[in-house]
Structure 1
Amino acid sequence: MAKKHMHSQQLADSARAFSVKLMQFLVVPTFVLDPHGRVLIWNRACESLTGLDAKEVVGTKNHWRGFYETPRACLADLIVEGRIHELDALYVTHGAPEIMSTFGVHAENWCHMPRRGIDLYLAIDAGPIYDDNGALLAVVETLRDISVQKHSQTALERLASVDGLTGVLNRRGFDDQLTLEWNRALRAGLPITLLMIDVDNFKSFNDHYGHQLGDECLRTVGRVLGESVLRPNDIVARYGGEEFAFILPGADSAGAAVVASRIRDHMAAAAIAHQPGGIDGQVTVSVGGATLIPLADALPADLIRHADAALYAAKSNGRNRFVSWQNGDHSPSHALS
């Protein structure tokens, strides 16, 4: 009986050693944490991916050094420590945490890779291993570098959000960015300003000069608006037809007036001839602005509606001017002719 038990133990030890060696030589970067979050295995592919040697991390909790400049939980740590609810805060995208206990969890994130001095976009899978009694034995994390795919995806998304004629954001890009900036302003309690910009008497321009020069005119307007951007987080978009939009995160109504004045000055400097219907023989724009501090019961559509109303007032009052919406009306104190 003792000999049989010894043989069984030898088989178990042999199987364990084979499993460890198999994991060490897997081509997929892999590391394993024990129930206390210490590294049990840091395979060769993981060394290559991170530039961090196994001897530096095995037996420690320093595996974060392969991915981040400062201490931060990896996906496997969240499982070990029962912190799976922190996925939203730590990862760009992830799978459903409710299936984690059975199947593990998938996440994706940009990692700086301090040892290699590069940024990589990693697809990460982490899953728990339990004994027959349901006690946690280990957590296995595997990693894949999908940076090339991510860059390609981002480029395609950017292309899909750009107006082909003018090179600024299209309506889809505008909607996405306005929602993003609105939610950011809501969380921070900061104002957000929207300028709606319409090319004055554009139909008569098209009728007189033809659609080819009409397109060239819109391209010039898009360029002028782009040149009016002074802050990196200001956003220019073609809203539709001859109408453009300017999103100014964090700007108040006074800032909106400054930007609107700069836009109109740049348009005057562009000096696009418009003999049949232009003001002073040139292409001009009307600008309507609205500023709100988002509240929980408000929507981005409210900001658009107010800016549109201000634009209508600017056009109704002679065009080539800026009108701002404030406190439910079109304040003449902010109307600049």
Structure 2
Amino acid sequence: MTYDIAIVGAGIAGASLAAAVGDGARVLLLEAESHPGYHATGRSAAFWSETYGGPGVQPLTSASERALREAGVLDPLGELHIGRADDAAAADAFLAAFAGSGVRLDRVDPAAMVPGLLPGWTIGIHEPSCAYIDVGALHARYLATARSAGATLVVDAAMRSAVRRGGSWRIETAAGPFAADVLVNAAGAWADEVAVRAGVAPIGIRPFRRTVVQLRSDPAPPARLPLVADIAGSFYFKPEAGGRLWLSPSDETPSDPCDAAAEELDVAIAIDRFEGAVDWRVDAVERRWAGLRSFAPDRLPVYGVAPDMPGFFWFAGQGGFGIQTSPAAAMIGAALVQGGTPADEVSGIDVARYAPARFASMPR
């Protein structure tokens, strides 16, 4: 059997695209692991923040809100961006970057929103729209939607090679050979590697390790505490169920594609930065983990046909914003890969800025 579309990677990117394509094509989802979402998707401390990823990503995030709310995977959280006096220029630039975007940002007294905030943290910008994302429920919903539309999921199917002949791809995997007219690269940290195995020029998508720890603190974080993020980008923390706290040092350590694990130094750095922001005592580190976030050179996602290979479709480079932008990204991807008209929610987005052709003139 020859599928219309074979998608390499069944994490949030591949699963959302398969769901958006629906019954409009015969879709094959190839997952290298024994279950989908093992790496980036399954390790995300995801939230929906319209400012996360910058102005180039914000249209995708904002366009995703309706679908995420209809799916029932968002819960109110709010985000508080905090800074010291020497962050004033960064705060002004942050506000200017989103002026006119429709994203609500309010200057506030951060001490009024974070009990125990240490002196010196005088800058506060509140983003009330920020929300939790139930990542597991969202990913499961995408997979279920794709299956109900007829998509075939094959696990333990790492792609070894792909060759295009006569307008069709012959794909060799650990689970055997497959054939498809279009090959979609939704392989996350392995995106460049998959491209090379298909004879396509890599873009320069690089994975970076991000660390998260779960803490028990004294006092416990208030249930109504927002996501608190350093405007300089050195940490963020948010409340979790059971009076726990999730904390990250916002690290981006270059990494090979791998099964990432938290390192002791990054955990120690996270705690040190946390203790430099609030007067809470850390009683215990209960969990620690790391995941990979993969970025293209310009830190924007990549959607579209490879300029050097017909039938090879990039759907990668979603960094840490792949979950919050997944509905809009999937709508765009489904329209591009099938040659259709984009859904109304994304019709006003300049899709050309995400096209892989923008890297064609870059040195390899």
Query: What's the TM-score bracket when you normalise by the shorter of the two chains?
Result: under 0.3
User: Over alpha carbons, which structure has the higher Rg?
Assistant: 1
Higher relative contact order (CA 8 A, sep 6+): 2
Write 1 or 2 for the structure with the bigger share of helix.
1
Write 1 or 2 for the structure with the bigger share of strand.
2
TM-score by length of 1: 0.27
TM-score by length of 2: 0.26
